[in-house]
Amino acid sequence: MRIFVLTGAGISAESGLGTFRDKAGTGIWARFDPMKLATPEGFARDPEAVHAFYNTRRRNLLAAEPNEAHFALARLEAGLAERSGMLTLVTQNIDDLHERAGSRNVVHMHGELLKSRCAACDSVVDWRQDLSLEDQCEACGETGHLRPHVVWFGEMPLALDQIYGALAASDLFVAIGTSGTVYPAAGFVAQARALGIATCEINLEPSDDARLFDECRYGPASETVPAWVQDMLRQG
Ligand code: OAD
């Protein structure tokens, strides 16, 4: 069995990282303006504010731990490989909790918070400390051009060719902890259906696209994901 899993902020919610949108109106984008903090225009206008926002998120990430849902997906990757199957794990999350739980192949379509990118020479390097306008690029020596290696609104997500290739080759598409509001990831379920691929949603509550999924499992990811992984590995 070849399974394609797309994860979103909901899988890291129980690790304390917060989601972007929720029905109670307490998500990150209800408290912070994404147009000011997650666009190239916002960064050009006020780089200090953008750096401060991501510096706080980076510190929170370094203090967080993976939860049972992340560990279960690492078990699924290993278990499918033993059965001559394959897991493609694509995440919209910029955290590294899948990797810390043991997942080996993670595609970060929205980038990675623990990396910086130089806007002058495009080099990407590991970055665990605060980032500021005073930092110098190790590769080109320029100062003031480093930014978080994350995809902002209006920018192209990463690895899309690889992602669409893996989606087309899969037997099952599973969306975990995502509201399905940000494209192109929000379009993967329709793409899967058009290709005749079975679809499953695992989320705290039905997303706006819930009707597009053949199977739905609702509840906290730390409970629903391990239970689903156990079912998948039992099926062989
Ligand atoms: P959202 O915040 O939009 O959606 C999170 C989803 O997780 C919601 O549907 C919640 O119901 C669900 N959820 C919350 N807690 C959960 C839990 N404990 N277990 C399971 N599900 C839970 O996050 P994303 O869909 O990931 O992009 O957002 C997509 C993109 O929008 C992000 O990658 C980010 C953001 O703007 C950029 O910054 C470019």
Residue-level pLDDT, tens digit, the chain, 236 residues = 999 999 999 999 999 999 999 888 889 999 999 999 999 999 999 999 999 999 999 999 999 999 999 999 999 999 999 999 999 999 999 999 999 999 999 999 999 999 999 999 999 999 999 999 999 999 999 999 999 999 999 999 999 999 999 999 999 999 999 999 999 999 999 999 999 999 999 999 999 999 999 999 999 999 999 999 999 999 86
Q: Which residues contact 83 (CB under 8 A, 6 or more apart)?
A: 1, 233, 236
Q: Select from 12, 155, 204, 205 the residue to mutate for testing ligand 1; criterion: most ligand atoms less than 8 Å from CB.
A: 204
Number of folded domains in the chain? 2
Query: Of 51, 70, 98, 110, which one is the catalytic site residue?
Result: 110
Domain that holds residue 199: 1-17+66-110+157-236
Assess whether 179 and 125 both reside in one domain.
no
Structure-token match 């500021």, residue found: 132
What does the chain come to in residues? 236
Residue type, 168: A
Q: Is 110 a catalytic residue?
A: yes
Structure-token match 């989320």, residue found: 203
> Does the beta carbon of 19 sit less than 6 angstroms from any atom of ligand 1?
yes
Instruction: Decide: 54 and 206 in contact? Cβ < 8 Å.
Output: no
Looking at residue 64, the DSSP 8-state letter turns out to be -
Assess whether 126 and 220 both reside in one domain.
no
Assess whether 128 and 228 both reside in one domain.
no
Q: Which residues contact 190 (CB under 8 A, 6 or more apart)?
A: 212
Assess whether 58 and 103 both reside in one domain.
no
> Does the beta carbon of 87 sit less than 6 angstroms from any atom of ligand 1?
no
Q: Is the dihedral of CA 218, 110, 38, 155 positive or negative?
A: negative
